Amino acid sequence: MSATGDLTRFLHDNIPLSAAMQLQASAYDGERLELTAPLAANVNDKGTAFGGSLYNISVLSGWSLLRLKLNEAGLNQKNIVIHEANTRYLAPVTGELRAACSITTDALTEILHTLQKKSRARITLTVTIYQQDKAAVEFTGQYVVLD
Amino acid sequence: MSATGDLTRFLHDNIPLSAAMQLQASAYDGERLELTAPLAANVNDKGTAFGGSLYNISVLSGWSLLRLKLNEAGLNQKNIVIHEANTRYLAPVTGELRAACSITTDALTEILHTLQKKSRARITLTVTIYQQDKAAVEFTGQYVVLD
């Protein structure tokens, strides 16, 4: 099965709200992960995307990308938790929710290096949700990786 | 019907993810609103509350309290949107999710006064999620009220 298929199944099996959102891992190239979710399951009283759904797809994008990279490095046993997050809503999302998160080689090297010496490491990831090709939500999350 | 019953029904009818979370407005005394949700519908891969669910119950606590107060002031036609939010996760939540938001008379007076003069106003609300009696999540949201 593909990395995106495996990830979608893991999320649905372990985080029931991701299944309720009909969240899908839609693209992954080793550096950039994209998650999508349909508007209907994530709509609010104004007919646009619910701010909570926009947060959820963002926090899961960063978390999932970090999980993929740690698994690729053989660190399958690590836990990843969100420690603090800031979310800025720039424009309403009126169609499919689409979030993208990237990790640089330098940031990945740094966290893997820290985890060789310590049992815990922190990393800040940014996630952008697009409305057509313009940023509608900017999310910054500080994640902690620990045993 | 009670204010809490009306609110729960409104949320479930208009924001499907709140129904998936089994969110309930559990207490409201005119100043302080409490929302609750069961762990099972909001669990993560670690068996504790999903960070996204903790965000959702927080953002909806502030939003709902503001909606109740604006409705009580006769401003039923206003829209309330979340503009920016900061979320700090202090401890895992291992049981029912329970979020509380309060609004002071001064803060309410100020926003109603602004809305008499302008079509738009901002307000910052804080929400706390409790694990037993200790704060497990601290949420600060900046909401915009507009026509």
Q: Please compute, for residue A125, the number of CA atoms within 13 A of its CA located in the half-sphere on the CB side.
A: 34
Q: HSE on the CB side for B113, CA within 13 Å?
A: 6
A17 near A5, Cβ under 8 Å? no
**pLDDT score, position B16:** 98
The CATH number assigned to the domain holding B94 equals 3.10.129.10
Asked if A15 lies within 8 A of B50 by C-beta distance, the reply is yes
Residue B20: which domain range?
Answer: 3-146
The pTM assigned to this predicted structure is 0.97
Tokens coding A111: 């966290």
- pLDDT for B77 equals 84
**Complex ipTM, two decimals?**
0.96
Q: Which SS3 state, helix, strand or coil, does residue A139 take?
A: strand
pLDDT of residue A80: 95
Amino acid at B108: L
Q: Which two tokens stand for residue B100?
A: 């509380």
Please state the domain count of chain A.
1
The answer, yes or no, to whether residue B95 has pLDDT greater than 80, is yes
Which 3 state secondary structure label does DSSP give B5? helix
Instruction: With beta carbons under 8 A apart, name residues in chain B contacting A53.
Output: 17
Residues of chain A with pLDDT under 70: 1
pLDDT score, position A1: 61
Give percent of chain B above pLDDT 90: 95
DSSP reduced 3-state for B69 = helix
B57 pLDDT tier (thresholds 50, 70, 90): very high
CA within 13 Å, CB half, A60? 36
In DSSP terms, which residues pair with B135 in a beta bridge? B130
Contact at CB, A89 and B83, closer than 8 angstroms: yes
pLDDT exceeds 70 at position B1: no
> Which residues of chain B neighbour A17 with C-beta distances below 8 Å?
17, 20-21, 41-42, 50, 52-53
Please answer yes or no on whether B86 and A88 come within 8 Å at the CB atom. Answer: no
* Predicted pLDDT of residue A133: 85
Beta-strand ranges (E) seen in A1-147 are 24-28, 32-37, 79-89, 97-102, 120-131, 134-146
Q: How far apart are the first and last CA of chain B?
A: 27
Are the beta carbons of B84 and A86 separated by less than 8 Å? yes
Q: What is the spatial distance between Cα B117 and Cα B86, in angstroms, rounded to a whole number? A: 29
Q: Residue B78: is its pLDDT beyond 90?
A: no
Which of A16, A51, A56 has its CB closest to that of B41? A16
The shortest CB-CB distance from B51 to any of A43, A59, A79 is to A59
pLDDT of residue B88: 98
Q: Count how many residues are written for chain A.
A: 147
Query: Is the predicted pLDDT of residue B147 greater than 90, yes or no?
Result: no
Identify the weakest region by mean pLDDT among A143-147, B48-52, B61-65.
A143-147
A/B interface, count of CB pairs below 8 Å: 99
Report whether pLDDT(B8) > 80.
Answer: yes
The token pair at A99 is 């979030």
What pLDDT does A78 receive? 87
pLDDT, position A76: 85
Interface of chain B against chain A, CB under 8 Å? 10, 14-17, 20-21, 40-46, 50-53, 55-56, 59-60, 79, 81-89, 92
Nearest of A118, A6, A135, A129 to residue A71 by alpha carbon: A6
CA dihedral B124, A99, A108, A77 (to 10 degrees): 90
Q: What is the largest CA-CA distance in chain A?
A: 49
Does residue B52 carry a pLDDT above 80? yes
